[in-house]
Amino acid sequence: MLLKNNLYTITSKGYFYIAIIFLGLNFLGMKAKGDGDIVTTLDGPFTPVTVPLDESFRGHAVDLTEDDPRVKRNVKGFEPEQIMVSLSSGYESVWVSWVTGKFQIGDNIKPLDPKSVASVVEYSKVKSLKTQTQQAEGYSLIYSQLYPYKGLQNYTSGIIHHVQLKGLSPDTIYYYRCGDPSIKAMSDVFTFKTMPISGPKSYPKIGLVGDLGLTHNTTSTVSHLIKNQPDLVLLIGDATYANLYLTNGTGSDCYSCSFDNTPIHETYQPRWDYWGRYMQRLTSKIPIMAIEGNHEIEEQVESTTFAAYSARFAFPSEESGSKSTMYYSFNAGGIHFLMLGGYAAYDKSSDQYKWLQRDLEKVDREVTPWLVGVWHPPWYNTYVSHYKEVECMRVAMEELLYNAGVDIIFNGHVHAYERSNRVYNYTLDPCGPVHITIGDGGNREKMAVEHADEPGNCPEPSTTPDSFMGGFCAYNFTSGPAKGNFCWDRQPEYSAYRESSFGHGIFEVKNETHALWTWHRNQDMYNEVGDQIYIVREPERCPVKLWRSVK
């Protein structure tokens, strides 16, 4: 059974041997035997728990090399590779994306012509694709990563294709292949399954990963995730970590430490291609929805940013009324997802904020009872890493999301796991969302271990704001046990559970009021549980508060 409120507190500084005993008992007995063994948010708020770092597990997060067979190009000519399925705003449509042709990197590069290869998807409910076959055509593009300094190598991508399939049936398996049939450059046949119809009785099984990268720890995370058979995967920012490499391919665990004298923050774009090839085993079969992270910024000539992210993924931005790839929304069964941008303007006068207001007004909680927020940098984070980094985003948006009745918020960015109690404005609140940080996908950078509440760890406030977005909003606490301080002197009461380990999450909504959240650690068998809880909605106790948006 999970830890009950006020029973145990395990800290990384104390009770170490008690923790080891508990960990030997099937990780605090958290492997559920049945629904009756799993606690719910109604049993909370829970006394904060910290599980000490398992020093023997982490090792060094070593990247897959470019000669690894899992990332090498294994197609010929203009045959498709890096195949990916993603969702539109509803069940009746999906996007199929892929790359054809070779990327180029060096001083003298000549981009491929996107018009030279067609973007076609043939699809059917029949496996053979010889009968009842439909065909859809889309568009293609290339993007470049260019630098204005001598010695830095420019990059241009292969041809990236995006094709939208429309008029699909809900909860249905489709067979498809993609490419250009006119030049006999078609892929093998793959399958995907559409989302269930939007309604309060139908829900997909959703996998969540953040800060994934392309290391041997990444491969463990992805393998565990695939074995848990999700219907949809959410990638919560920081996909490839290509920007940990110079344009000559030299990599580092810490860019600012090793490459601080370079005139611009370089990025080795071929690692995007390596990542796309490796991930095809998952993304060609299971729809994946991504949101940007800080490692997707990838600044280049004329201060252009997010070029690879915006070009390689397909987004239902237009379908959801957004003018940007940086934020959008979509339905998956009875869940409405708000994919928000932590690296796009989010103040109350911004386009994103106004779009969010309009989107929330359209949400029908009779059709999609669950409202889930997803973005990269967390608001409620107790690690030193990125502590209070996006307070300005929280100050701008938290009240709006709270009044709209957002149930759960998923974040990445911090390379560890943390689950909060229900919280609003740093105060325990039975109507506040549960915040879950799952930036533990296995990337090359170091794992987050130190906590801001431990002696000597509280960061200097002026060092905390995000360097890309700027702005300072992280003031001292004004009430509660930490009043007058920038950090707590112990694990904050809003933090229910935290652990430094690699892993992934599975989110399974059971009905209009109950959703099962499970966190899996890489060092365990894929079906074992690291943390598990039922998140329970109370719509009668916590009604949605309406407002008038700025048109």
- In contact, 194 and 174? CB cutoff 8 Å: yes
Whether 162 is a known active-site residue: answer no
Nearest in space to 346 (alpha carbons), one of 392, 384, 377:
392
Residue 151: left (phi > 0), alpha (psi -120 to 50), or beta? left
Taking residue 101's Cβ as centre, other Cβ atoms within 10 Å add up to 22
**Of the residues 386, 415, 435, 504, which is catalytic?**
386
Peptide bond connecting 45 to the previous residue in cis, omega within 30 degrees of 0 = yes
How far apart, in whole angstroms, are the C-alpha atoms of residue 300 and residue 296? 12
DSSP state of 310: H
Which residues have CB under 8 Å from 376's CB, separation 6+? 210, 236, 237, 238, 291, 292, 293, 294, 342, 343, 411, 412, 413
Strand ranges, E, within 27-153: 49-51, 81-87, 94-100, 104-106, 120-124, 134-137, 139-141, 144-145
* Helix/strand/coil percentages in the chain, nearest 5: 20, 25, 55
Is there a contact between 501 and 523 (Cβ–Cβ < 8 Å)?
A: yes
- Closest listed residue to residue 293, CA positions, set 422, 468, 92, 161: 468
Cβ pair 498, 50 in contact under 8 A: yes
Structure tokens at 465: 């704001």
Q: 3-class SS at 92?
A: coil
User: Which are the catalytic amino acids?
Assistant: 386
